[in-house]
Structure 1
């Protein structure tokens, strides 16, 4: 909800929650004997607020600092980074080459389930129908589907009646499908955070996984960050085309051209 711009609304709701029965913000809160005194009293019982989040962007961190008292934070792996068991593979392609390359990869006999990410809802539907025509068992998950349809799509993948889930970033967070062998970014994510969440659908629970991404010239905004992830991954290799690409040498917006630099100095 915060990602969608509802941070003020969430804060407004939380402001109206009762605060008269909060736990003390002191060492007393760690004392089980003191905290247990009012355990059986409905009126005097302390209120407990628990927040679970897979990520901690600045907006969520502000929320946590405001409303949580003496919170415990547990990190599994490295925050904001893909797990080291996921091999990241990158191909530079044109839009017309994507479908052929995808079929070439799937034709190698990849163990299901597989998740294919597409940026647009319409693109999901079109790609899923194309896969079905090629005798692949595919289903769809995106924001245009109602809750019943979404649950059916996930259940189909988990039960094995479908092998491939074609999805938007709706499937990038908050879902756990066991033993996803491969994630394919048919359309590259718009930012490195979404990319990290997407490929986190594989390589879970101690398993190894593979993440394949198709890059086009329109994805240059993520070249630098993607390069950094690849060169720090112990199981991935950064292709020379990305390593040496001009747009991968600096983070977008951080390098000023020589002409603009001179204009700044003499302004």
Structure 2
């Protein structure tokens, strides 16, 4: 079996690797490190969590240790471009940890932080500069940073930089560096635009592709909860309150949505932190630190902010909203089942997201909906005659409940904002496999489903016991709330807690990112 000592790394770097507790390289590290040491251009295709950062940090530190010398003022010998602040910070942490015996000059240049300290750090010259494209171009424009003597450029998570619209900026930056530079590109996928970038800026690159023997997606128990949009936050809180949920990441599409979800979880007694692009760098760092150390067990994040979150021990990933890009689903759920562990991924899907769900299923080559999909976080049963669930034959086998005036019948909320969706003065909520609310008069009041006397219809009396056939159904009916409790136990791998809202859950031991 290959170990780091056989890869040609400098002794000072090997000592740091050993002190960090590593002795065996991952497949991507074993293939990439010798090539980077040779000065070759490299295209590496590997999933998130396979050790790509060390695959370029270790050999570049070794080369700096052997070459010696210093960079020119305002210049940098190695430039690493990252799509997000969080990933940039983690790369910089790796440079400091593995380079503690080399002691390279390094800094991070990202948005959301004051430019003054960044400019001062670059003034004397750097060995390692880790940056996001936008802020780097700002500093280049003011003359604070020069790339005329940069020897190595690393593009990390290139496909994410493409998704975030950074390709024009990346091309501008590469054009400012010497043509004799070494270029290393890492990406989880290889779309045409990334292939074109490699063709334009890399010289005779060696392409390496690594798929772990057991890919993360194979170790993740994936499931879908079909739920009305207005009920998503309640369903989320009940899932996260289960004992089996030790550390969880919740994904939303928008920054405002992340804040709303975090506030709702806090009101339910579940400690959580929100992280997104509108947070300052300090706020994001504090939120990540609380999540890593176990002070907060739930992190609510957008796709962009989640890039670079590398935390072991995440037991659950919940898609509060499905991503617009199917590939992002794979990136999201890859936050769990790391380091050979198993994980759980739950997606809360409303009717408007069914097309997105179909795109995801085609990408991963399997159906995520089963006959055990849960309808909604319905209220506890009121009394006989308050509405019976009928099995629907629609996709997923969820049930559609028709409620009478005794049912809940609340108007549909719009993306958790609490505003009813109205059309020509009438509220007609859309639900997937959930309870169909009654029509509204346009002012939020309910039209009674019964006759004009306004009294709720009573269910016909029956002497038939629940366990005996009754209209072809031999099983007792369960309320939507009971179904969700049972489903939470099945999805989370634990036991529902008697209907009481759990005030948090067990804190795991601190983990190292």
TM-score, normalization: structure 1?
Answer: 0.72
* Residue matched to 2:169: 9
After superposition, the Cα gap between the structure-2 partners of 1:191 and 1:4, relative to the gap in structure 1 and judged at 3 Å, is closer
**TM-superposed deviation, 1:242:** 4.2
Give runs of aligned pairs for residues 47-62 of structure 1, distance below 5 A.
47-62=181-196
CA RMSD of aligned residues (A): 2.5
* Residue matched to 1:70: 205
Q: Does structure 1 retain, via aligned residues, the 8 Å contact 2:216–2:337?
A: no
* Residue matched to 2:242: 108
Which of these residues, 214, 219, 232, is aligned with residue 348 of structure 2? 214
My pick for the range that moved more, 53-62 or 204-213, is: 53-62
* Residue matched to 2:221: 87
Aligned partner of residue 182 in structure 2, secondary structure:
coil
Q: Does structure 1 retain, via aligned residues, the 8 Å contact 2:315–2:336?
A: yes
Q: Structure 1 residue 145 and structure 2 residue 279: aligned?
A: yes
Give runs of aligned pairs for residues 201-240 of structure 1, distance below 5 A.
201-228=335-362, 232=366, 238-240=369-371
Q: Does structure 2 retain, via aligned residues, the 8 Å contact 1:230–1:237?
A: no
* Cα distance per residue 1:135-155 (max 9 Å; x no partner): 211111011112221111111
**TM-superposed deviation, 1:226:** 2.9
Give runs of aligned pairs for residues 172-211 of structure 1, distance below 5 A.
172-211=306-345
**TM-superposed deviation, 1:185:** 0.6
Gaps of 5+ in 1: 23-46, 246-267
Between the two structures, name the one with larger relative contact order (CA 8 Å, sep ≥ 6): 1
Q: In the aligned structure 1, how far is the partner of 2:296 from the partner of 2:285?
A: 13
Q: Does structure 1 retain, via aligned residues, the 8 Å contact 2:315–2:343?
A: yes
Q: In the aligned structure 2, how far is the partner of 1:58 from the partner of 1:174?
A: 23
* Residue matched to 2:304: 170
Q: Does structure 1 retain, via aligned residues, the 8 Å contact 2:217–2:333?
A: no
Q: In the aligned structure 1, how far is the partner of 2:397 from the partner of 2:271?
A: 39
Gaps of 5+ in 2: 1-160, 372-393, 399-513
Q: Does structure 2 retain, via aligned residues, the 8 Å contact 1:231–1:237?
A: no
Q: In the aligned structure 1, how far is the partner of 2:199 from the partner of 2:324?
A: 29
After superposition, the Cα gap between the structure-2 partners of 1:205 and 1:2, relative to the gap in structure 1 and judged at 3 Å, is same
**TM-superposed deviation, 1:115:** 0.4
Moved segments of 4+, more than 4 Å? 240-245
Q: Structure 1 residue 128 and structure 2 residue 252: aligned?
A: no
**TM-superposed deviation, 1:206:** 0.8
Aligned partner of residue 130 in structure 1, secondary structure:
helix
Q: In the aligned structure 2, how far is the partner of 1:237 from the partner of 1:221?
A: 13
**TM-superposed deviation, 1:58:** 2.4
Q: In the aligned structure 2, how far is the partner of 1:105 from the partner of 1:126?
A: 17
Q: In the aligned structure 1, how far is the partner of 2:268 from the partner of 2:350?
A: 25
Give runs of aligned pairs for residues 36-47 of structure 1, distance below 5 A.
47=181
After superposition, the Cα gap between the structure-2 partners of 1:237 and 1:127, relative to the gap in structure 1 and judged at 3 Å, is closer
Q: In the aligned structure 2, how far is the partner of 1:214 from the partner of 1:119?
A: 13
**TM-superposed deviation, 1:202:** 0.7
Q: In the aligned structure 2, how far is the partner of 1:242 from the partner of 1:203?
A: 28
Q: Structure 1 residue 18 and structure 2 residue 178: aligned?
A: yes
* Count of aligned pairs: 214
After superposition, the Cα gap between the structure-2 partners of 1:229 and 1:17, relative to the gap in structure 1 and judged at 3 Å, is closer
Q: In the aligned structure 1, how far is the partner of 2:355 from the partner of 2:216?
A: 19
TM-score, normalization: structure 2?
Answer: 0.39
Q: In the aligned structure 2, how far is the partner of 1:93 from the partner of 1:243?
A: 12
Give the structure with the higher percent helix.
1
Aligned partner of residue 180 in structure 1, secondary structure:
coil
**TM-superposed deviation, 1:92:** 1.0
* Cα distance per residue 1:143-171 (max 9 Å; x no partner): 11122211111111000111100111124
After superposition, the Cα gap between the structure-2 partners of 1:193 and 1:182, relative to the gap in structure 1 and judged at 3 Å, is same
